[in-house]
Chain A
Amino acid sequence: MKTARVMIVEDEALVAMMVEDMLGDMGCEVAGSFGAVDAALAWLRDHPSPDGAVLDVNIGGEMVFPVAERLREQGVPFVFATGYGDLPRAGFESVQVLAKPINAGALRLAVERFRIG
């Protein structure tokens, strides 16, 4: 099985550190971990596409959707991870949502699909 390179966008530093560890434990490589939408978009512009991404939805008051849009254009699979139960996500209704706190089993299943993709 190839090592999946996964991108993380998460504004809560402690949660990001945990997701990084969880992905590491699952044999993934953290391709990039960002706490701001701008930084994530800039990174996507000058780096090869990752194999998948875990995106928090509300990034310090900013919505992550521009990053989701870019990933979709690049054909990169991704999941949302959010503490909001009912956040509107126009155009991304079919994207899987991981609740917070994060269930490691659910994250593992999502990552497995990144590998297939």
Chain B
Amino acid sequence: MRELDVNHSIGDAETGLTTLIEMIETLSATRTINEVADVVRGAARRILDADGVAFVMRDKDLCWYVDEDAIGPLWKGKRFPMDQCVAGRVMKSGRVVVCPDIYADPDMPHDAYRPTFVKSLAIAPVRPRDPIAAIAVYWARPYDPPPEVLRKLQVVARATASALESGRLNDYLAASLEHGHFLLRELDHRVKNTLAIVQSITRQTLRTTPSPEAFADVFESRILALSQAHELLTRRAWGRPQLEEILQRTLATFADDVAGRFEVQGPAVAFSAETAVSVHMAIHELIANAARHGALSTPQGRVAIEWNVDKATAPGLLTLIWREQGGPALSGPPTRNGFGSKMVHQGLARDLGGQAVLDFAPTGLVFTLRAPLSERMSLAA
């Protein structure tokens, strides 16, 4: 057995040149590994005047005999550990291996060859710097292939490498294109869903505002909140926004002195994209209400927002309490249920499969939400 460097120059190919050119031309039209293997096995056998050719791919720690063209069966479809297989050694070292007489060479795994016709071989790596495959050529007699045969083998290996590369590029482009189409469909869906939310906000705002001026104010503030909710989603690439960041974003809109006005405390809780929008809109309504009628309508009013998760029973239960203090004394619940209280009850609580209570206590509004953890609301790492 001897090893050769792959990178010495390839001289003029003589015999089999036409077959070699035809092979390269045919390879340029291949798209899949199987197509490449199919072209290479037959062409290589003719070009190198061999009794058998195997196309071997690296499959993590295994050598995979993808295809073969030979006078007798070899190992087609089988997988062997890299270090128990000569093709595996070639793919690890990136060097051509030649063995003119297998049974005279103590380094060769004789048992592997005994069931076959193989007496001599030459194996070349495909993409020597980082081998992804190997082309193995076998003869049924002891044979020391001359340098021109080995050079042709290396040309075959190079052509195979570029065919596999373009196959990969082709797969990658097809997948990118498909992903692009998927994103467009998804965008279409999300735009329509968002428009449906805007439609809902429009109708509900219209129901509860007495004049066009009041409508414009309240509607704009809700659309801005919706826009903020989307900004958070985009920042997380439609991942899972956290309660804390939703609060920080919404609170800042209504109070310059967030730290002085709010006390926010609780473990990291994250929401699915859709639920995050409901949470955002519900909190927006609570804050807008506090600014109009509650604790934020006076200079000394404060809001404490605290939550915890009781893990005693699976899947865990979240309790969130929003407590307003220092605002004007309340004289009980409002006479009619506005969008805000609907958003909290029919929106948030329904979305999370929990319960919401709005208590218009004389000292200030207390909002309590109890809901089980789920895919829509989970503890964040």
Q: What is the interface of chain A, defined by CB distance below 8 A to chain B?
A: 11-18, 20-22, 33-36, 39, 60-61, 83-86, 99-102
Contact = CB atoms under 8 A, between A and B. Distances in A.
Given A36-B353, A60-B376, A15 B200 contact: yes
Contacts of B236: none
Contacts of A21: 203-204, 207
Nearest to B351: A13
B78 interface: no
A33 B350 contact: yes
A15 B193 contact: yes
A101 B196 contact: yes
A98 to B, nearest CB: 10
Nearest to B376: A60
Interface string B149-162: 00000000000000
Interface in B265-292: 272, 274, 277-278, 281
A86 B203 CA distance: 27
Contacts of B199: 18, 101-102
A13 B196 CA distance: 11
- B contact residues, range: 20 to 34
Interface stretch (B45-53, B91-99, B134-142, B340-348): B340-348
B201 interface: yes
- Chain B's interface: helix, strand, loop or mixed, by majority? helix
10 A-B pairs with the lowest CB-CB distances in the bound complex, closest first = A83-B192, A18-B200, A13-B347, A100-B196, A101-B199, A14-B200, A101-B196, A83-B193, A13-B278, A13-B351
B203 A18 contact: yes
Contacts of A22: 203
B295 to A, nearest CB: 25
Interface of B: 185, 188-193, 195-201, 203-204, 207, 272, 274, 277-278, 281, 342-343, 346-348, 350-351, 353, 375-376
B346 A12 contact: no
A61 B188 CA distance: 16
A20 to B, nearest CB: 7
A101 B346 contact: no
A16 B346 contact: yes
Contact of B342 (A12, A17, A36, A84): A17
Nearest to A99: B192
Contacts of A99: 192
15 contacts: A12-B277, A12-B278, A13-B346, A15-B196, A18-B196, A33-B350, A60-B375, A60-B376, A83-B190, A83-B192, A83-B196, A85-B185, A85-B188, A99-B192, A101-B192
B272 A33 contact: no
Given A83-B196, A101-B196, A17 B272 contact: no
B189 A83 contact: yes
A101 B195 contact: yes
B353 A39 contact: yes
A13 B350 contact: yes
A16 B350 contact: yes
B185 A14 contact: no
Nearest to B281: A14
A91 B351 CA distance: 28
